[in-house]
Chain A
């Protein structure tokens, strides 16, 4: 009996392995048996390779429901004619690469996307150009998928009329690498996505956020560029985020932040660059975060840290040419500033150890006045205000007494 079972196992094994051995290559194009990708997918067996020759293919809801390698040669165009979802991937271990996908449908009920990945794992979507889609690449319930080197562009006019560039919902171990996203609502959107990495992406001129994070624990983003987005980057309700070497630039507007941290805990912000934002970092309800070796340059407010933040440590950062270094909304300070370089520091260093002998108070009186009364901005840099600031420096009354850097550096931190 055991022998029979063993034999059967051996037989099945042979059959299955022969499947992968006989995996064939299918060509799609004008001069080949298959004129549409859909036919080729239906005809293909698992682990076949489908090469698609250049041309324009009017496919809709192209359903890839078995593990296939779908490869476009010279970016063949798949067009959703503004009605349909273009490509739906419903099988694990699919490779989908080298296409130009355009004109997906628009809809708020089903969220049609250029490429949508449903409940699968180990899918790779790479080197595609997505043009004028509602959502760009959409993953729901995906695991260990790779979204790499795609160029995603759309032409959204209003936030409610356009979807996100890369949208991941309830996924795990995702790799988002080297994509360029423009003109969507959020460049990259993460909701309930864990243990994932976002690396070397460029998110420019999206309507809302360059990157939007919600309830996504233990994610890392490294060396991304976020520029000129409607409201910068928002990280909310998340634990254990690591942000390294990102660039946040020119996020301008009344509610625009380089980086918005709302209800964030146990996170690490290292070696990022914040340049010319209305607010470099805005923190609300953040706790146990480390901020190290970042550069804040020419921002309106380098850091706005609300009184609801706790145990945030800000050390060894460089502050250059910001209009206001730090802003806050109350007198409670549960955070520490240590060993930063502030270009506005006017103290001295008698023992020449490169640490200022008197503490630096990064909050000016005027920034408190503006917090209470925004139109007072019109008086900024007037003699009156400079006088007020000077007196406040000598006898602090409005500004929080404890918000100070006890060991300000006299030279910028070398990075």
Chain B
């Protein structure tokens, strides 16, 4: 299995897209910190990068990679290797290379300019988001043989998690404005990994505003150690569930 992971990583590195991704990330992060004189603004730009670009690149690159290596997967299947091993090493290779790209591209500038809990939280959230969207991409690509359909589905999923979901929440909030929604909101936010990571970063970034009326509810939950671990484990579940689902489909798939 290690051999397989190694092969996948080398293959990913060879096509240089991930390398370009790393370089672009690091150019963006270094420039946002050096253009602005206060790092708070740089952090905000990076937050958008983490919530927007990182999931997009992760999901699209992984989906396309999966489709492109379908022949390689078929070849591997003719060997005496378990399907589970093949799939997991594909996942591991993608997850390692993309989160490594994130760590090098964003993590290093963050540690240089903002070695605070906020910076650390951003690194953790970005890494987890990379891995989560690799898992989601695997799920999207295993569902259908049609490449166009699969990539389209992946983009739709990304759109759903970054935009549509929040729009729906806003809609719900205004429809049910007369009801106490704070606690329900905490649960609902768990259904979107992007929201979840945004909130744990927000708790570091905008703590003063979050101490306001309902903010205090969020702070009381996510701000405590227990809440933080619940949020983190929710993010880990967001890796495991799509991965398990895709594995389940892949094992039974007629290739």
Contact = CB atoms under 8 A, between A and B. Distances in A.
A377 B218 contact: yes
B206 interface: yes
A373 B185 CA distance: 13
Given A323-B208, A375-B214, A379-B195, 18 more contacts: A254-B216, A276-B208, A278-B211, A300-B211, A320-B38, A321-B40, A323-B206, A369-B170, A373-B174, A374-B214, A376-B173, A377-B209, A378-B195, A378-B199, A379-B170, A379-B173, A382-B198, A383-B51
A343 interface: yes
Interface string A352-379: 0000000000000000010011111111
A219 B214 CA distance: 36
A373 B173 contact: yes
Given A373-B177, A378-B199, A383-B52, A300 B166 contact: no
B169 interface: yes
B24 interface: no
B189 interface: yes
21 contacts: A252-B211, A254-B212, A254-B213, A276-B207, A277-B208, A300-B206, A320-B38, A321-B40, A321-B41, A373-B174, A374-B212, A375-B185, A375-B214, A376-B170, A378-B214, A379-B173, A381-B202, A382-B51, A382-B194, A383-B166, A386-B48
A104 interface: no
B44 interface: yes
A15 interface: no
B182 interface: yes
Interface in A225-278: 252-256, 276-278
A144 B66 CA distance: 84
A299 B208 CA distance: 6
Interface residues of B, number: 40
Interface in B197-232: 198-199, 202, 205-216, 218
Nearest to B52: A383
Given A343-B41, A375-B214, A381-B198, A324 B209 contact: yes
A325 to B, nearest CB: 11
A383 B48 contact: yes
Interface string A370-398: 00111111111111111100000000000
A412 to B, nearest CB: 10
Interface in A301-339: 301, 320-321, 323-324
Contacts of B212: 254, 278-279, 300, 374, 377
A254 to B, nearest CB: 4
Query: Interface residues of A toward B: which range?
Result: 35 or more
Question: Which of B52, B166, B174 has the most chain A CB atoms closer than 10 A to its own CB?
Answer: B166
Contacts of A299: 208-209
Interface of B: 38, 40-41, 44, 47-48, 51-52, 162-163, 166-167, 169-170, 173-174, 177, 181-182, 185-186, 189, 194-195, 198-199, 202, 205-216, 218
- Chain B residues touching A, majority SS: helix
A88 interface: no
Nearest to B206: A323
B44 A374 contact: no
B38 A384 contact: no
A300 B218 CA distance: 15
A381 to B, nearest CB: 6
B163 A380 contact: no
A121 interface: no
A328 B214 CA distance: 18
Contact of B169 (A277, A321, A324, A379): A379
When A and B form their complex, which 4 residue pairs have the shortest distance between CB atoms, in order from nearest? Answer: A300-B209, A323-B209, A384-B166, A300-B208
A298 interface: yes
Question: Which of A276, A343, A369, A382 has the most chain B CB atoms closer than 10 A to its own CB?
Answer: A382
B240 to A, nearest CB: 24
A233 B189 CA distance: 35
A380 B52 contact: no
Contacts of B47: 381
A386 B47 CA distance: 12
B211 A253 contact: yes
A379 B196 CA distance: 10
Contacts of B202: 380-381
Nearest to B199: A378
A276 B186 CA distance: 25
B255 to A, nearest CB: 37
B166 A382 contact: yes
A383 B166 CA distance: 8
A324 B210 CA distance: 11
Contacts of A384: 163, 166-167, 170
A278 B207 CA distance: 8
A378 B211 contact: no
